[in-house]
Amino acid sequence: MVELILMISMGLLFIFLGWRIWEKQQITLIHSYHYTKVAEKDKKAYTEKMGKACIIIGIGMILTGIIDFISKTAYGWICFGIFFIWGLIMMFMVQKKYNGGIF
């Protein structure tokens, strides 16, 4: 039960932050060195894609908690790994495209 509550709470936090980054274009939620080289004209696309990647990770966390609670197996963690890697790959690709690199 603790895992379910923790994973849902963390997932909701990631979804909320992703929504703020994407919809509200609140780029300051991302560490400043990650967006220092992003051109002003690209900030909307950058925040949209970074926010979506964060939301994907949050969805993976929620699904992990639910699957592990229902099935009592490690299948939820497989789901988490897939969504986490998917979100990270998206973030790395966005960083490389709009910031010229990871840092």
* Residue-wise pLDDT tens digits, 37-50: 888 898 999 999 99
Q: What's the pLDDT tens digit per position in 48-65?
A: 999 999 999 999 999 999
Average pLDDT, the chain: 92
Q: Where are the domains of the chain?
A: 2-10+19-99
CB-count burial class (<10 Å; 0-12, 13-18, 19+) for 84? middle
Structure tokens at 71: 């099935």
Token look-up 């909701």 returns 12
The CA–CA distances, whole Å, from 48 to 23, 78, 94 equal 7, 26, 10
pTM of the prediction?
0.90
Q: Are 48 and 90 in contact (CB under 8 A)?
A: no
